[in-house]
Amino acid sequence: MHILMTVVLTTCFLTTSIAQAAEPGTRQRQRTPMQQQRGTVQQLQITPEYLNQKILSLQTQLNSLRSVVKVTPNGATLQAEYLTIKGIKHLALVSSKKMQLTAADDLGLASGKNLSLTGDRNVTVTGEKDVTVEGDSKIKLKAPQIKFNDGNKPIALKDSPVAGGKVISGSTSIFAK
């Protein structure tokens, strides 16, 4: 089948070429470098000007990439005044060791739906000044024990007995200092 197809395509090409050569009065039009000739397999007419144009275009693109991507033996760096990494359906930043997000000014994490911070061990949120946790509906703290300021004294619940400003019996799972 492959040989038959090759013979048919070659015959078609040769027949058209011979017919054009036999008719000297036939006017041939100029083709663009990638234009297909009727009755033949697509032919490329590559001129030196066409190649130079493509080489110049590729050099320009390569220089643009080099201005943003710095490759060293130890890794690669993306650097630009404004840099966007966009995943149309999914974007994953993965490291087998450590990962750090650092901003000299502000850093914002936003989500159109839900935002989750998960750690297999510990999750720490620290601020040198104020730390605000805010919710339009509820704030839920779930844990077997909740400690405020690393305290060890039980917090009073509704109807907990208090004497002399101290909680006599309060929560067995919420503690304060």
Tokens of 156: 């009073």
Cα–Cα dist 16/21, whole Å: 9
Q: DSSP per residue over 79-112, as a string?
A: --SS-----SS------SS------SS------S
- Comparing CA positions, the residue from 171, 146, 173, 176 lying closest to residue 161 is 171
pLDDT tier, 152 (very low <50, low <70, confident <90, very high otherwise):
confident
- Percent of the chain with pLDDT strictly greater than 70: 72
Which residues is 77 bridged to in the sheet? 70
How high is the pLDDT of residue 42? 67
- Percent of the chain with pLDDT strictly greater than 90: 8
Cα–Cα dist 90/3, whole Å: 46
* Mean pLDDT, residues 71-90: 88
| SS3 track for 134-167 | CCCCCCCCCCCCEECCCCCEECCCCCCCEECCEE
Of the candidate ranges 43-47, 73-77, 103-107, the one whose mean pLDDT is the lowest: 43-47
How high is the pLDDT of residue 109? 87
Tokens of 17: 């070429």
Can you give the pTM of this predicted structure? Answer: 0.45
The domain ranges of the chain are 8-13+33-86, 144-177
How high is the pLDDT of residue 60? 93
* Mean pLDDT, residues 83-103: 87
Do residues 34 and 44 touch, judged by C-beta distance below 8 A?
A: yes
1 pLDDT above the threshold of 50:
no
* Mean pLDDT, residues 150-156: 80
pLDDT tier, 58 (very low <50, low <70, confident <90, very high otherwise):
very high
pLDDT tier, 18 (very low <50, low <70, confident <90, very high otherwise):
very low
How high is the pLDDT of residue 142? 85
Q: How far is CA 172 from CA 139, 140, 151, 166, in A?
A: 20, 18, 13, 15
More confident residue, 6 or 64: 64
SS3 76: strand
pLDDT tier, 37 (very low <50, low <70, confident <90, very high otherwise):
low
* Mean pLDDT, residues 22-37: 52
- Comparing CA positions, the residue from 157, 132, 127, 131 lying closest to residue 176 is 157
